[in-house]
Amino acid sequence: MKAGRKKQVLTEKEGFIMNMLWDNGAMFVREMLEHYPEPRPHFNTVSTLVRILEGKGYVSHEVVANSHRFFAVVDKSEFQKQGIADVIKNYFNNSYKMAISALVEDDKLTVDELKEIIEYIEKKNPSSTK
């Protein structure tokens, strides 16, 4: 995403296209249509969604013959990290502990999963466990 540009939330349909581009690389709209389950949206619908993503700064294109091949300009892992950080900032008072607690409270995380997370943290930061 271009520096200085305000981040914008993606709709579910826009997210579907972003995942398609992250997973498959640059694509023409007609190629994107092949990845949709039936009933597939109309060509113009997908084209409009891609242009919206381009306007938001998540997608760009290159001209190939008389067509446009679209590609993601935002790295998926960076997008995920920023999205999580935004959710925690906006909905959990910037507390990762509150976010994890909410996941545990709603039975979204098990004790075993929490143990795996703790093991991961300990391996990543061995000095923090002393």
In DSSP notation, 64-122 reads ETTEEEEEE-S-HHHHHHHHHHHHHHHHSTT-HHHHHHHHHHTT-S-HHHHHHHHHHHH
CA separation for the pair 66, 110 (Å, rounded): 52
Weakly modelled stretches of the chain, pLDDT under 70: 1-8, 128-130
Q: Are residues 102 and 66 in the same domain?
A: no
Q: Are residues 21 and 59 in the same domain?
A: yes
Answer whether 45's CB lies under 8 Å from 94's CB: no
pTM reported for the whole predicted model: 0.73
Q: Are residues 52 and 17 in the same domain?
A: yes
pLDDT score, position 6: 52
pLDDT score, position 57: 93
As for how many domains the chain has, the answer is 2
Q: Are residues 53 and 91 in the same domain?
A: no
Tell whether 86 is covered by a domain: yes
Answer whether 100's CB lies under 8 Å from 110's CB: no
Structural domain span for residue 57: 12-72
pLDDT score, position 112: 92
Q: Are residues 68 and 80 in the same domain?
A: no
Tell whether 4 is covered by a domain: no
Q: Are residues 16 and 68 in the same domain?
A: yes
- Give the CATH number for residue 45: 1.10.10.10
